[in-house]
Structure 1
Amino acid sequence: MDIFHEHLVLFLQKDGLPLFCSIDLPVQIDFQEPKELGDFAPWFFPIPSNLCSILPGPNNDFMSSTFRLVVSSPVIPDLTVDYDMRKKTFTIVDQEEVTGLCSSIYTVGQSNVSSIQQNLQLIEDSQSWSDLSKLLSCERVQVVSHDGVSIPLVILYSREAHIHGESPGILYGYGAYGEDLDKSWCSDRLSLLARGWVLAFADVRYSLMPVVFFQLTGLHFPIIIQYFPTHLTTYCSMRNCAFSFDELDY
C-alpha cells in the first residue's frame, strides 16, 4: 500500500497474479457497514499481460498524482510506466533495450529483428505494449501436486528453435517466505531459448537454501531441475511438477 495527497494505491493479488489499483481520496462513503473493494471505484492499472511482474518505482512525492511502476514478463523487456491516477491514463517512459537477437540465433529474417527493435524505440510515441511474443511463447498452466494443491507453472520457449517432443527442459522452483519465483524479463535466458530449451517456472512451497540440481529418470525428454530443498513438500512438489511438465508434451 502507498498513500498520496489525493490517492491511495493498493498492491493486490488475484489467483496468484499481481494487481495494482488506485482509490481517490478523500473517500466519500458510509463506513457503517462492511464494504467491498468495488465500492470505492478503484482504477486498476492497465498491464500488458497477466503474467507480468510488477515493481513500484521511486514514488517519493506525496503531492504527486503519478505512480511509477516497472512492468516486466518473460516475453516483455522491462517497461517503466507512469500511471496518472487523476486522469486514469498511463505513459510509457522507457523500455529495456533488447540485445542478443539476430537471424542466426532465432532463424528469423533480419527485417523481423529490425522491426522488433524499431517497435521498442517507438513505444513512447505509440503508447503500445511491445513484447517478443512473436518469437517466444509464454503460457501459464496449473499442475496438481502430490497433496492435491494446485501449483502455477509458467512455460517459456522459442517458437522457432523449439522442437516438439525433443527439446530439453529446465524446471526452476522456489517457494520460500511467501515470495513467487522471479519470472521477469531476463536476457540471460536468450542463449538457452535460442538452442531450443524449454524453461518452466514452478511456484512451489516451503523451500529454503541451498540450491540443488538434479535430473529425474522415467521422463520422455531430459529435464534438469533447480530448486531450494530442506523440506519434503518442496521435493515432492517439484517432482510432481516435473512429471506434469513432461506429460504436457512440450
Structure 2
Amino acid sequence: SNRAVQHELERYVSDKVTAQRIDHHLSHHLRNALSLPDSWSKFTDDNILHSQSERAVSHKLRDEIKILLKAMSNKMWNQFNTVNVAFTNRMSETTDAKNSLQTHLAKTLQEIFQTEMLIDSLKKALSDKECPLKVAQTRLELCRDNPHQRLVGEVREIEDTIHKLRERLMEAEITLQTLVKTKDALDHDLSIKAKSLFLDQEKCMGMRKSFPSTPRLVGYT
C-alpha cells in the first residue's frame, strides 16, 4: 500500500542520514589523524627557528659585551699608566725638592755655626775692650798733664770700637735668629717631603704594582 511504501522510504532516508553522519565523523577524525605529523613538524621547526634566533641574539650580546669590556679595559689601562706617570713625575719633583732642601739646610747649619762663632768672637772682643777702657778712663780722671789729650783720644777710640762691636753683635744675633727660623722651616718642609715620598712610594705605588684583570675591573671578581 502507499502507506507502507512511505514508511519504507522514511526509514531509508533516516538510515542514509545516519550513515552520512558516521562518515562525516570518521572523515573528520581521519583528517586530524593524518594532519598530526605535519603539525608536529611545524612545531619542531618553529622551536628550532626560535632557538636559532635566541642563540644569535645571545651571541651578538656576548660579542658586544666583550667589545665593551675590552674598551673599558683599554681605557682603564691608559688611565692606570697616566696616573703612574703622574705619580712618578711627582715623586721625582719631590725628591729633587727634598735634595735641594737638604743642601740648603746643610748650608744654613754651617751659617748658624759660623754666626755663633762670630757672636762668641764679638763678645770676647767686647770683653777685651772693657778692661782697657776702664784703665784709660781712670787715667783720664787722674791725669792733668800733657798726655791728657792723648788719653781722651784713646778713650774715644775704644768707645767707638765697643759701639761698633755691639752693633755687629746685635746684627749677628738677629742673623742667628733668622737662620734658626730658616732651619726650622727647612726641617718642617723636609719632614713634609719625606712623608709625601713615603706615601707615594710605599702606599700609593705599592698598591699599583700590578694592573687588575678585566673581570676584576668590571666587578666580576
Which range, TM-score by smaller chain? Answer: under 0.3
- Higher share of residues assigned helix: 2
Higher relative contact order (CA 8 A, sep 6+): 2
- Higher share of residues assigned strand: 1
Q: What is the TM-score normalised by the length of structure 1?
A: 0.16
